[in-house]
Amino acid sequence: MSETILLIDDDASMRRVIEFTLVEAGYQVLTAASGEEALPLFRQHYPPLVITDVRMEGMSGYQVLEKILAESPKTLVMIITAYSTVEQAVGAMKSGAYDYLTKPFSGEQLRLAVARAFEYRALQRENRQLHAVLQHQDPPRQVIGESAAISSVLEQVRKVASSQAPVLLSGESGTGKELIARQIHHESSRRMAPFIAINCAAIPHDLLESELFGHVRGAFSGAVRDQKGRFELADGGTLFLDEIAELPLTLQPKLLRALQEKQIEPLGGRSRTIDVRLVAASNRDLQEEVQQQRFRQDLYYRLAVVPLQLPPLRQRREDIPILVSHFLANYPQARNVRFSDDLMAALCAYDWPGNIRELHNVIEQMLILRHGDLLDCGDLPAHLTQKNVKHQILNLPKEGYSLEALEREAVVQALRYCHGNKSQAAAFLQIPRHTLLYRLEKYAIEQWE
């Protein structure tokens, strides 16, 4: 359906020329010879664009502008003016006019001005829709946990969120680096702007430059149209570069320039200014990568203005029951599911080399394959059976052990694996807490690390 325009001009010949040009361009045109004639037409059709001459008999174009915007602030009004009244037209724009055309103007100038007006209107509508979505969308997934290790990270997140400095997140795979990056964005002044994520390891090196910085049509074989890169898509917001250690050395100078000068250069195009807050992440030691000359030192220092180290799950075992409860609450079919104490103790004792991601996958697998609503150690995947976990802990020597030495070693290693949490260690050893405390006193166990 074509867009509708209301044209107001008391010069009949000028009105016919403009109407013809706009109809030829595919628009529907309503015409009026005066402001008084135009207002009822406007109220009947509410066209998105009004083009009005300034000097007319009776109501002037400025008065038309004022009345239309009072009734419909989102309507675009374009002023037609003689050269001698340009300053007045600029004043009208300050009062709310979208644009002005200076007589004489060509048909091409008119078509371009109207096309720009409707592009601007489309962008306004898109921005309003996006704003509405952002206002009503669910908040980002929360970082779950109450341990000292994760509480320290969240405290640092709150401090760095108000800054515009780059942040470098380090930690093992599955520790929640993207979740922390989203938390930084959500708590920052950029929260209403885009959060764009890209995994540098997931995109072939020969395509990564185009993905990051974009390209123009004809920049390379197959570039049939312009494409914005992730930097432009994140303009005004936050760009998260995961697995930054995988960024090729050949691209690192372009990333450094984007950080230092706020400039990017699309393939085949000209430099553009961008406003992006960068958060990068790596599960490798970037300082070691620098020493091995696989990563630029100057780029490392630009990225690591604020370094944050995320703890592995084995260093925050007390958060495992909380995480399990969170996963269960978000699994619709698990409303009545319960975990036995033995199962929870086994989960707390395991080292979780895949961290939170592995824990989530294991919980989901057990829920899918369960035979009832009470889950026990028998529901664990093979590599996590209670037998395997206990063998990890006791490591019995071939020459044998005295029973007391074995009991003492079991207590020590249970505490070690539960990071000193006596309640979890007691549950894992399947003894009451007071019995564990008695064993600690009996064997004079004061240290277990």
What's residue 317's pLDDT?
Answer: 93
Q: Which residues contact 331 (CB under 8 A, 6 or more apart)?
A: 337, 363, 364, 367
Residue 418 has pLDDT above 90, yes or no: no
Give the pLDDT band (50/70/90) at residue 425: confident
Residue closest to 244 by CA, chosen among 233, 261, 232, 259? 259
pLDDT digits (tens, 9 = 90+) for 242-263: 999 999 999 999 999 999 989 9
Q: Say if 148-309 and 317-442 have the same CATH topology.
A: no
- CATH fold of 4-134 reads Rossmann fold (3.40.50)
Q: Which residues contact 330 (CB under 8 A, 6 or more apart)?
A: none
What's residue 387's pLDDT?
Answer: 42
Going by their DSSP bridges, the two strands 272-273 and 263-264 should be labelled as: antiparallel
Residue 244: CB atoms within 10 Å: 26
Helix H or strand E encompassing 367: helix 355-369
What's residue 386's pLDDT?
Answer: 46
What's residue 390's pLDDT?
Answer: 47
Domain residue limits, the chain: 4-134, 148-309, 317-442
pLDDT digits (tens, 9 = 90+) for 153-163: 999 999 999 89
Residue 182 has pLDDT above 90, yes or no: yes
3-state secondary structure (DSSP) of residue 305: coil
What's residue 101's pLDDT?
Answer: 86
Which option is the CATH number for 317-442: 3.40.50.850, 3.30.465.10, 1.10.8.60, 1.20.120.850?
A: 1.10.8.60
pLDDT digits (tens, 9 = 90+) for 263-297: 999 998 888 888 999 999 999 999 999 999 999 99
Residue range 148-309, CATH number: 3.40.50.300
Q: CA-to-CA distance for 298 and 257, rounded, in angstroms?
A: 11
Question: Of all residues in the chain, what percent carry a pLDDT higher than 70?
Answer: 90
Residue 220 has pLDDT above 90, yes or no: no
What's residue 90's pLDDT?
Answer: 66
Residue predicted with more confidence, 403 or 191? 191
Residue 321 has pLDDT above 80, yes or no: yes
Do residues 345 and 427 make contact, with C-beta atoms less than 8 angstroms apart? yes
What's residue 130's pLDDT?
Answer: 66
